[in-house]
């Protein structure tokens, strides 16, 4: 199923950086020539690929929990959800600078709480980044009443977490809700009875990869 996609193929968060990089490259090209300008054109291409934001197809099926971000699974472990204060399994997806950085809802859900924490900017590949780094958490509730938490975590280079939803907003599975600039991670705190479909080291794509499934009742 392919949902309506109200966002351009190049994320609006990147328009300023793309225009700036392109303007600098053009200026150097015009004043110093191509030999000096090529590194700036390369930087422009990097910005272009970083802020790409392709539409994604939502997998068909019930009870699916989808990847909230592109990247590599760096953590799957039992723990306590620090936002709901309940047992959980944490699945962490690390995004490097070559991944798509828009964040999407893992399921049809209502936003129950938005919790922002200022913090450090450690390497997001490290597990301690979940507690030490700047982060923004969404406590979500599915139409069936199941709650889980989705956390945007800033990284070593990422210095800006963007979140566009508020408590009471309803999200569809795969709906874009935020963006993190330049390298980061997303943590999912899921109830421990979910059926996991990924393991550490797996490469996932936002929306199209199924991370887990709710237990059938």
> Residue 127's domain is classified under what CATH number?
2.70.70.10
Q: In terms of domains, do 21 and 114 share one?
A: no
Q: Do 37 and 91 share a domain, yes or no?
A: no
Instruction: Please state the pTM of the whole predicted model.
Output: 0.83
Kindly state the tokens that stand for 7: 């966002």
Active site residue 92: no
CA pair distance 40, 135, nearest whole angstrom:
32
- pLDDT for residue 102 is more than 50: yes
Q: Beta strand pairing status for 147-154 and 195-196?
A: unpaired
Q: Are residues 70 and 140 in the same domain?
A: yes
Give the whole-angstrom CA distance, residue 101 versus residue 76. Answer: 21
Q: Residue 191 in 3-state DSSP? A: coil
Q: Which of 161, 160, 173 is nearest to 209 (CA)?
A: 173
Do 28 and 97 belong together in one domain?
no
Predicted local confidence at residue 155, as pLDDT? 66
Domain that holds residue 199: 64-213
User: Residue 217: what pLDDT?
Assistant: 67
Secondary structure of residue 113 in the 3-state scheme: strand
Q: Please give the residue that has the higher pLDDT: either 53 or 165.
A: 165
User: What is the average pLDDT score of the chain?
Assistant: 86
Number of domains in the chain: 2
pLDDT higher than 70, residue 8: no
Active-site choice (102, 105, 130, 184): 184
Together in a domain, 109 and 176: yes
Residues 119 and 155 in one domain: yes
Structural domain contains residue 82: yes
Q: Answer yes or no: do 107 and 153 share one domain.
A: yes
Tokens found for residue 88: 């959980």
Predicted confidence band of residue 15 (pLDDT cuts 50, 70, 90): confident
- Domain membership flag for residue 7: no
Q: What is the pLDDT of residues 72-101, one digit of tens each?
A: 999 999 999 999 999 999 999 998 888 888
* Whole-number pLDDT of residue 126: 58
Mean pLDDT of 49-71: 89
Instruction: Give the whole-angstrom CA distance, residue 114 versus residue 168.
Output: 10
Query: Which pLDDT value is given to residue 136?
Result: 92
The confidence band for 4, taking pLDDT boundaries of 50, 70 and 90, is very low
């Amino acid at each position: 199923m392919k949902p309506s996609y109200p966002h351009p193929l190049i994320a609006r968060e990147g328009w300023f950086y793309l225009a700036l990089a392109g303007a600098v490259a053009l200026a150097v090209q015009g004043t110093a020539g191509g030999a000096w300008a090529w590194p700036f054109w390369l930087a422009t291409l990097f910005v272009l690929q970083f802020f790409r934001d392709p539409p994604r197809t939502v997998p068909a099926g019930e009870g699916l929990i989808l990847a909230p971000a592109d990247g590599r699974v760096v953590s799957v472990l039992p723990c306590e959800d620090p936002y709901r204060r309940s047992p959980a399994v944490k699945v962490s997806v690390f995004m490097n600078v070559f991944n798509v950085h828009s964040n999407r809802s893992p399921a049809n859900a209502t936003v129950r709480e938005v919790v922002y924490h200022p913090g450090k900017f450690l390497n997001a590949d490290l597990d301690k980044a979940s507690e030490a780094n700047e982060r923004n958490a969404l406590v979500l509730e599915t139409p069936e009443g199941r709650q889980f938490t989705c956390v945007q975590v800033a990284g070593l280079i990422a210095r800006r977490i963007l979140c566009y939803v508020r408590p009471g907003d309803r999200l569809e599975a795969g709906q874009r809700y935020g963006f993190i600039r330049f390298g980061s991670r997303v943590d999912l705190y899921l109830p421990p009875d979910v059926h996991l479909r990924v393991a550490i080291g797996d490469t996932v794509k936002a929306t199209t990869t199924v991370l887990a499934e709710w237990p059938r009742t």
